[in-house]
Structure 1
Amino acid sequence: MKKETGRPTQLITRKFAKELHSNFMKYRASIIAKYIKKEDANAVWFSVEELENYIHYIKSKGEKTGYDVNGIRIYFGVYPEQRKYAEKAGLMTVFLQATGKKIRKAAKEGEVQTLALVMDNGDGDISSIEPMNYGSIGRPPSLLY
């Protein structure tokens, strides 16, 4: 049986999405293209399977390494200008990084043998979990929303 999920609170309208993308193309992509002298990527695609697999991986590895994984931070990056990156060389990308809190075991006050989980404050990047990259930037790199 498939788990029912609620409607996400962060949903936006397609109209607002088009406005955001149009603003990116107008205020960022044109400047970047002028500077690097080529059309840059403006979208990155990951399959649902890839994303689900990464989420499962970071939750499992976080649990094994003592972290409560609570999110994914998305960073912008640029591929190096090297042959091995082929058509992606010099283009923008995004990569995903697990975030969370370190869990440490602590004895409850007055009970030496009973342990409770205590989470450290912070939603920082978990450096022991590898980031995910290599989504598809499409051909040509630039897509219109």
Structure 2
Amino acid sequence: MKNPPAKPNQLITKEFAKQLNVNYNNKKAASLTGKRAKKEDANAVWYSLEALESYIHYIKTHGAQDGYNVDGIRFYFGVYPDDEQHGEKAGLTTLFLVPTGKKVEDSTAQVQSFAKIQESAPADIQSLDPMNYGNIGRPPSLIY
């Protein structure tokens, strides 16, 4: 490989990832005791690289068209409504993605506001659709 990618600075150890997963599973299991524990909840969500790359392309392209400097993706936890419409996913945990960024007024303002963009936390971009419907870990739950 001529130019290998730089190692991301947000990487964690496999051991810490395992600890986080065990903590989540234990906490989630404790919160689902009693009548609510009808079925085992999802504890992992999988998206294909193709789906993620397509979503990134979508938010960059449409975000720019809407006048945004798209700078990231926020991952939200959610729970599907407990109704027939959502079938086997009803009442289960999900993870959905929302693009973040800053509104840019014009091309000259973009250069001048670059420092301001970096200073504040990115906001969710409401004009772009979130992404959901990854494949969730099915019982038995996936363990990292």
- List gaps (5 residues or longer) in structure 2: none
Summarize the Cα distance change of 1:141–1:33 in structure 2 as closer, same or farther, 3 Å threshold: farther
Identity within the alignment, %: 53
Match of 1:76 in 2: 77
Structure 1 residue 5, shift from structure 2 partner:
1.8
Q: Which of the two has higher C-alpha Rg?
A: 1
Q: SS at the partner of 1:61?
A: helix
Q: How does 1:36-47 map to 2 (within 5 A)?
A: 36-37=36-37, 38-47=39-48
- List gaps (5 residues or longer) in structure 1: 106-114
Aligned mates of 1:126, 1:56 — CA distance in 2: 15
Runs of 4+ in 1 over 6 A off after TM superposition: none
Aligned CA-pair RMSD? 2.0
Count of aligned residue pairs for this structure pair: 135
Deviations along 1:25-59, one digit per CA (max 9) or x if unpaired, are: 12x21123215213211111111111111001000
Structure 2 residue 116 is matched with structure 1 residue 116: no
Which one scores higher on RCO, CA 8 angstroms, separation ≥ 6?
2
Deviations along 1:49-92, one digit per CA (max 9) or x if unpaired, are: 11111001000001101000000000110001121211111000
Q: TM-score, normalised by structure 2?
A: 0.85
Summarize the Cα distance change of 1:3–1:60 in structure 2 as closer, same or farther, 3 Å threshold: farther
Q: TM-score, normalised by structure 1?
A: 0.84
